[in-house]
Amino acid sequence: MTETELNEKMKRIRLVILDVDGVLSDGAICIGNEGECFKRFHVRDGLGIKMLQKAGIPIAIITGRSSKIVEERARELGIELLFQNERFKVPAYEAGRLGSGGARERL
């Protein structure tokens, strides 16, 4: 694929959907003595998300777990489409897709 073809393909993207564990975090889930959960996020992922948003591409997070940490990270990054406790991700994907105005190849 040429750079021109890639750029044309990228222009059709209307929404980026991400998972958390192993995608936005390193996949480790650390649980403290009091049951608190810790996740590590990389600053470069945040930068990439902000660059996509600046280009007018919204971001959605769909995760099978529920966590205040993810809620806070989404808030920090300005991600409004947050679906937690979605063990079966297709229904959440379909809901996010409705807001994108696009077909699967645009997501």
- pLDDT number for residue 101: 53
pLDDT tens track for 11-56: 888 889 999 988 888 888 788 898 888 888 889 999 999 999 999 9
Neighbours of 32 (CB within 10 A): 8
pTM of the model: 0.79
- pLDDT number for residue 107: 47
- Reported in sequence order, the residue ranges of 16-92 that DSSP labels E, i.e. its strands, are 16-18, 30-31, 37-38, 59-62, 81-83
Is the pLDDT score of 100 beyond 70? no
- Cα separation, 43 vs 63, in Å, equals 19
- pLDDT number for residue 39: 85
